[in-house]
Structure 1
């Protein structure tokens, strides 16, 4: 099976190199006039068919080099609905077991759009079967399982792309390079939001199981988490609860926070490392994520279009400060109606640059108003990211949001949550980014992983 995958990879790489060579072959000779030949298309399966997967599927269908052949979800009604609504005109086959799908369809790659608590289990099994993977963010539920995912990807030579699309937006990368290349001098401080954390599930009476699922679908859906009776708030609101995500909502730590923190890592040039100190600045309180007082946003605020989305997001919050080996201080202090909700503000010796999703601002303004500015995207924000993944599947190069980069950005989210959970206000927690462990807090190290239910261990 693995040898078959490797042979398929080699043929895709060869086809890509051939098309790029000086000898030109008309597309109509290879296939349809606007579609690559079947041998040059990447056969992809979709796993986890919720709302996010539907967005991703629509974007993927606009990439000529992708051929979606199958979809998978542990709850069969979602398979039927996905094929009926998103698969019109497509010849998709549905599977309740993603491993059966990978084997029978002889896939090259999968797009893992499952719940966060099942994501590592699915992605690791898929990669160990020899397929490349596009993995939704946050890529893991804990720091330790994220590291396991990186190790699996490297062992099986998988091309991976984590769903932090800003890494493939030209404007974001251009502005990040300005920061890295010293346009505002040495970076003293980075400002980013004080995102809302996850909520603890309160025990509730089980609800009747919805019709259409197999006998064990709820067990599979529950995955590594504690087995509970079925409840619609879990199936459809899972990203709010700690056992299934770590703040996956709008203006949540792993929801918007993964994007913001990934922008920080990209701008600082720390994509393969992290901070060395974490300080909880105040006690954790349940509160609204912003003040939301009536005012007109200034021209320097890139996040104004997102402010209304953060309104009435209530949950545990507390300001956190981190420090990098370079001396740069990261202040996670901003409210939901201030600043860049999906980005950050870099403050240097000679000015500042604010980077949000496909939008930038600076002081002095001339830093970002010159002709070198690539301008805004002319396509959907997912498409360049998926295209980069496909290109790298063929070239076997690292993607813009390689799994190692995703691990480091996700880790910032979990460091915030761990500092809040430990609750040592004003104390410095020492973090070793190479070992990915705290050197002065055993209590915090316990929170780097979680117990897994029998049957849902990660493959070794």
Structure 2
């Protein structure tokens, strides 16, 4: 078996993506490997398996318990804990990467270097720099790479765009993005957690640092650790901000010009690092964008998520226009006039054809056929990373200073007011909390880096990460 240190170099030398790929006939079966078999991974495998002409031929997860569960669903598939064995199998045409966020880019690049097409879950990267490397690899190896923001394949989005273009609600003033969902403490151990005996921990870690884990559960809660996850902003954010970039900006705004964020992790006193209450402003140079996440309940003692004005839990976008507003999610939405009268109800399917769209593009070999082509989803993921970057650079919060950071824009003050009201309803005293407010980061969209006074070494370091030896995302793909 190839050593992990030399795998990526040998892959680049041993394979030409074009020569390594099987030439597929129009009716030939496409053989897929599903890498990462948690709830989303097993779901993705199931959605792919329903597409005509697709076979789930290989199952991969560092946890044999997950493999055993998936094997019951796909009894004829080969299994392995080591994704490098998948890359070496020339009979595999494409991989579906549903690992932890820290593995998304490296697994995808290895697959492309081995001549395979890729479906990679959101966020498509763990940081902005490696997201660009993902795009570079797709271009270099001429691979079909689909991002896992499935609502891109929902006809609902084109219907909303057409409605906005018709002008019934007038010009867009700003967009507020929200996601309020209840979560709970992940606990805090006094002694580090021992990974389950069924897990190959070295393979599970991959590019991430080998750091002690103090949460109670090994699986899923990696989301709330910066080493492996990107918090709620990187969990729901890619869906919401991808909707925004597609519906409102039509993919013409790659990155915002400026981003500022604040918030914190309150009430739980657990091992999590990422905020459970997070708010951000994004200056696009045209339509302002604000976004916030609340993971605490609507009120202490009530088992219900928070609410905001015209939305309920499932809504993603509130598009405020001069003559009305739209509020909705990937499942549907409603347009209203300025008096609150319904103008139109939109019904979507959540993007149920996203897997089929990926398979169709594999057969056509045209990346332009993809609904969620990798660069589009790279940008949407990067918006989330920028909001996280500002938060992680945060200093002690001062409400007056926070409000003054975005002058003459009342919706920003509304977000901050909602944040304080959320704390009060959960019986939390803001003066006693570790609330952070980050800097207003200035961004060079073309170079995907920070500029100006906020381009500090600390800020620039967050654009990438330190990779564990043998699992480095390559500087040159």
Q: How high is the TM-score relative to the length of structure 2?
A: 0.74
After TM superposition, list the pairs within 5 Å mapping 1:196-345 onto structure 2.
204-213=190-199, 217-228=200-211, 233-247=217-231, 252-271=232-251, 273-280=254-261, 284-287=263-266, 315-325=275-285, 327-333=286-292, 336-338=306-308, 339=311, 341=314, 343-345=316-318
Deviations 1:292-344 (A, max 9, x none): xxxxxxxxxxxxxxxxxxxxxx944343211112x211122475423265521
Give the equivalent residue in structure 1 for 2:424.
Answer: none
Is contact 1:195-1:253 (8 Å) kept? Answer: no
Equivalent of residue 400 in structure 1, options 363, 371, 384:
371
Is contact 2:263-2:275 (8 Å) kept? Answer: no
Q: CA–CA distance in 2 between the matches of 1:144 and 1:138?
A: 13
Is contact 2:260-2:441 (8 Å) kept? Answer: yes
Aligned in 2, Cα 1:400/1:342: closer, same or farther, shift over 3 Å? Answer: farther
Is 1:173 the counterpart of 2:153? The answer is no
Give the equivalent residue in structure 2 for 1:50.
Answer: 38
Give the equivalent residue in structure 2 for 1:348.
Answer: 321
Q: CA–CA distance in 1 between the matches of 2:267 and 2:250?
A: 31
Q: CA–CA distance in 1 between the matches of 2:442 and 2:275?
A: 26
Is contact 2:128-2:463 (8 Å) kept? Answer: yes
Q: CA–CA distance in 1 between the matches of 2:20 and 2:49?
A: 25
Gaps of 5+ in 2: 1-13, 269-273, 295-305, 396-401, 406-438
Give the equivalent residue in structure 2 for 1:423.
Answer: 394
Give the equivalent residue in structure 2 for 1:368.
Answer: 344
Is contact 2:208-2:468 (8 Å) kept? Answer: yes
Give the equivalent residue in structure 2 for 1:71.
Answer: 59
What is the Cα deviation at residue 409 of structure 1? 0.9
Aligned in 2, Cα 1:334/1:199: closer, same or farther, shift over 3 Å? Answer: closer
Q: CA–CA distance in 1 between the matches of 2:247 and 2:335?
A: 14
What is the Cα deviation at residue 456 of structure 1? 0.9
Is 1:109 the counterpart of 2:81? The answer is no
What is the Cα deviation at residue 70 of structure 1? 1.0
Equivalent of residue 450 in structure 2, options 428, 438, 458:
438
What is the Cα deviation at residue 211 of structure 1? 3.3
What secondary structure does 1:284 align onto? strand
Aligned in 2, Cα 1:183/1:164: closer, same or farther, shift over 3 Å? Answer: farther
Q: CA–CA distance in 1 between the matches of 2:185 and 2:365?
A: 40
Aligned in 2, Cα 1:222/1:167: closer, same or farther, shift over 3 Å? Answer: same
Q: CA–CA distance in 2 between the matches of 1:195 and 1:445?
A: 30
Which range moves more in the overlay, 194-203 or 49-58?
194-203
What is the Cα deviation at residue 122 of structure 1? 0.9
Give the equivalent residue in structure 2 for 1:449.
Answer: 464
Q: CA–CA distance in 1 between the matches of 2:359 and 2:233?
A: 29
Deviations 1:33-52 (A, max 9, x none): xxxx4x2x211110011111
Q: How high is the TM-score relative to the length of structure 1?
A: 0.77
Equivalent of residue 142 in structure 1, options 103, 127, 148:
127
What secondary structure does 1:134 align onto? strand
Give the equivalent residue in structure 2 for 1:18.
Answer: none
What secondary structure does 1:130 align onto? coil
Is contact 1:137-1:258 (8 Å) kept? Answer: yes
What is the Cα deviation at residue 449 of structure 1? 1.0
Is contact 1:259-1:342 (8 Å) kept? Answer: no
How many residues are treated as equivalent by the alignment?
391
Is contact 2:161-2:247 (8 Å) kept? Answer: yes
What secondary structure does 2:218 align onto? helix
What is the Cα deviation at residue 140 of structure 1? 1.1
Which range moves more in the overlay, 334-343 or 442-451?
334-343
What is the Cα deviation at residue 176 of structure 1? 3.2
Give the equivalent residue in structure 2 for 1:82.
Answer: 70
Gaps of 5+ in 1: 16-36, 290-313
Q: CA–CA distance in 2 between the matches of 1:203 and 1:157?
A: 46
Q: CA–CA distance in 1 between the matches of 2:143 and 2:17?
A: 14
Aligned-CA RMSD value = 3.0
Which range moves more in the overlay, 265-274 or 65-74?
265-274
Q: CA–CA distance in 2 between the matches of 1:275 and 1:94?
A: 42
